Structure 1
Amino acid sequence: MAQSQHFTPSVDPADDPVDTVVSRMRALEAVLPERDGIAVFNGVYLAVTEAIGRRLDTGHFPDAEAAITLDVLFAERYLRVAEGGHAPACWRPLLQFRRHPGVRPLQFALCGINAHIGHDLALAVVDTCRTLGCEPAELEDEFEQVGDVLVSLEERIREELMPGPDLLQIADPLTHLLGAWSLERAREASWSAARALWALRGLPDLAEEFAHRLDAAVGLAGRMLLTPMPERADCCPRG
Structure 2
Amino acid sequence: MAQTQQLGPPPPGPGLPPVSSVTDVIEQMHAFRASWPVTDGLAVFNRVYLAVTEEIGRRIDGGDFPDRRAAVTLDVLFAERYLDAVDAAADGRRPPACWRPLFQYRRHPAVRPLQFALAGINAHIGHDLPLAVVDTCRALGCEPAGLEAEFDRVGEVLVLLEERIREDLMPGPDLLEIADPLTHLVGAWSLERARDGAWSAARLLWGLRDLPELAEEFTQRLDAGVGLVGRCLLTPWR
TM over 0.5: yes
Residue 6 of structure 1 corresponds to which residue in structure 2? Answer: 8
Count of matched residue pairs: 224
Shift of residue 84, structure 1, vs aligned partner: 3.5
Residue 203 of structure 1 corresponds to which residue in structure 2? Answer: 211
Residue 168 of structure 1 corresponds to which residue in structure 2? Answer: 177
Residue 35 of structure 2 corresponds to which residue in structure 1? Answer: 31
Question: Does the CA contact (< 8 Å) of 1:7 and 1:127 recur in 2?
Answer: yes
Q: Which segment drifts farther, 76-85 or 158-167?
A: 158-167
Instruction: Determine the C-alpha separation between the residues in 1 that align with 2:75 and 2:177.
Output: 35
Shift of residue 63, structure 1, vs aligned partner: 0.2
TM-score (norm 1): 0.90
Shift of residue 6, structure 1, vs aligned partner: 1.4
Task: Compute the RMSD of aligned alpha carbons.
Answer: 1.6
Query: Which of 51, 54, 59 is 1:55 aligned to?
Result: 59
Question: Does the CA contact (< 8 Å) of 1:121 and 1:190 recur in 2?
Answer: yes
Bigger CA radius of gyration: 1
- Does the alignment pair 1:95 with 2:95? no
Question: Does the CA contact (< 8 Å) of 1:200 and 1:207 recur in 2?
Answer: yes
TM-score (norm 2): 0.90
Residues 101/134 of structure 1: CA separation in 2 closer, same or farther (3 Å cut):
same
Residue 237 of structure 1 corresponds to which residue in structure 2? Answer: none
Unaligned segments of structure 1, at least 5 residues: 10-14, 231-239
Residues 167/84 of structure 1: CA separation in 2 closer, same or farther (3 Å cut):
farther
Instruction: Determine the C-alpha separation between the residues in 2 that align with 1:66 and 1:210.
Output: 25
Unaligned segments of structure 2, at least 5 residues: 12-18
Question: Does the CA contact (< 8 Å) of 1:48 and 1:150 recur in 2?
Answer: yes
Instruction: Determine the C-alpha separation between the residues in 2 that align with 1:83 and 1:25.
Output: 12
Superposed CA deviations along residues 41-97 of structure 1, whole A, max 9, x for unmatched, are 000000000000100111111100000000000000001112335410000000000
